[in-house]
Amino acid sequence: MTQQTDDFGLFLIRPRIKHSKVRWSNFLIQSAMHCTLVEKRAVYCIAEKVKELFVEKNLGVPENWKELYVHLNEEDLRNIGGKKNVPRTYEALKQLGKRFIPVKGTSEKGEPLKGRIHWIDAFFYNSVTKTYDVRISPEILPYMINVTEKFTTIDVGTAMALKSKESQKMYELCCQYSGNYRYRDHDSVKYDNIYKKRVVVISVEKLRQIFCLDEVKDERSGRVEKEACYKNFYFIRKNILKKAQEELYSLYKYGDSDVWFDFVAGPKVGKANKITSVTIFIYTRKHPKVGCDRPWQEGDEELNPYIGITEEPVLTPKQKVHANPLREAGTDLQQEHLARLLNKYLEPDEVAYYMRKALEESRRSLFNQKDSILQVILVIQEKEKQSRFRNGTKAYQRNNLIDYVFTKNLQREFNWSIPRIDKPNHLRRRK
């Protein structure tokens, strides 16, 4: 079964785009998409009203249900769906009350709960004033006002200019990962492959959930409420990823979007050669695409999600530290990397000791901008290049690090050292 597409065109011409930013909880960004194109535009319009009524006034969720109303007029409906489509927009606004967002939680006893919340729970039309009163569900408001953690900022004007609900959702996802986000997974940690910022790997399973492509059943009765669609990745690539990429790039090129993206399908897995993941490369005006500034196509240089290692013919110790890709990764990843290195050769209490000493030096040398964690990593990596060290016994490797690397090598290369750990004789390893 193929998914029905919404033929509602791009009614908002570029000069009329009103750029207004709203903040949503990431829960709404990641939630399954159950709205049509026009219904989602109505949601964006309501989000602007919520910002005016609650966010800008720094108000919480009102307890009186009468204060939960937002008021729309004919001009709002024309902005949502176009001048000639007010009746259709009116019908879409009515249908919005039926659109649910799946939620999961636990009871007070810790029992699993599944439920649904919706955007609006009442809708009235005044035929005299030609105004529309929409009451927002109190369950949805906490995800739209006073959101201080795990939130995403989206531009309502950009979102409403998009021509498909799939492009709207991809735009929201791009906004979520467009800041200083850095993706990490098990393999990247295991093999020291550090992802560039604004690169995210999304499983096809997760994409199917977000875009509501799987079969939907009632939680209690098991009745099928919606059949699955786009079972082949080819259709996801064509009808969601490629379409959204073209739309966002077009808006970006004309100055109406701050983000766009490239994507690369993950490796084929299993006997069926099934694609199970997609790597998304997100570009912004502050961090534009390097090289060919257009969507990737056959013949272009392959997109690399990882930080590259630049090889220099001869580098000083300081230059080696600055050239190390871990320097961009941040302190947390550096500490994780150092801990893995130390655990290869030392006992747990020794690892804790040398980690502590490296961190102490890092804090002491903060004003001198010394990269103490990276310096320890570097002297260990230099030692690992020596065949005698690689082929030595565990005891030899341990003693070499403790007696030479952390004392003499650190002192020679970076003018500081870590004293040998002082352990009682009966606790020391036998040589």
- Say if residue 121 is in the same domain as residue 195: no
80 in a domain, yes or no? yes
Distance CA 416, CA 407 (A): 8
- Say if residue 35 is in the same domain as residue 151: yes
Distance CA 136, CA 156 (A): 18
Q: What percent of the chain has pLDDT over 70?
A: 90
4 in a domain, yes or no? no
- Say if residue 60 is in the same domain as residue 32: yes
Domain around 368: 317-427
Final residue of a domain: which of 144, 160, 176?
160
User: What pTM, to 2 d.p., does this model score?
Assistant: 0.69
- Beta bridge partners, 71, equal 133
CATH number (domain holding residue 130): 1.10.10.10
- Say if residue 176 is in the same domain as residue 125: no
369 in a domain, yes or no? yes
9 in a domain, yes or no? no
Cβ atoms of 214 and 231 within 8 Å: the answer is no
Q: Identify the pLDDT of residue 312.
A: 41
Is 426's pLDDT higher than 50?
no
Is 7's pLDDT higher than 50?
no
**Domains in the chain, number:** 3
Final residue of a domain: which of 280, 308, 336?
308
82 in a domain, yes or no? yes
6 in a domain, yes or no? no
- Say if residue 27 is in the same domain as residue 145: yes
Taking only the tens place, the pLDDT of each residue in 124-154 is 999 899 999 999 999 999 999 988 889 999 9
- Say if residue 322 is in the same domain as residue 289: no
- Say if residue 396 is in the same domain as residue 423: yes
- Say if residue 26 is in the same domain as residue 155: yes
Supply 52's token pair. 């005016």
**Residue 188 to residues 17, 56, 288, 339: CA-CA distances in angstroms?**
41, 41, 24, 16
Taking only the tens place, the pLDDT of each residue in 290-345 is 888 899 998 898 999 988 644 444 577 777 887 777 877 777 888 888 999 999 99
- Say if residue 377 is in the same domain as residue 332: yes
Q: Identify the pLDDT of residue 219.
A: 74
Query: Where does 277-431 have alpha helices with state H?
Result: 317-323, 326-329, 331-345, 348-364, 372-384, 387-390, 394-400, 410-414
Supply 413's token pair. 């290369």
Specify the amino acid at residue 248: L
7 in a domain, yes or no? no
- Beta bridge partners, 136, equal 120
13 in a domain, yes or no? no
Final residue of a domain: which of 266, 288, 308?
308
- Say if residue 146 is in the same domain as residue 175: no
Is 402's pLDDT higher than 60?
yes
Query: CB-hemisphere CA count at 13 Å for 266?
Result: 16
Query: What residues have CB less than 8 Å from 228, skipping those under 6 apart?
Result: 1, 213, 214, 215
- Say if residue 194 is in the same domain as residue 107: no
- Say if residue 128 is in the same domain as residue 173: no
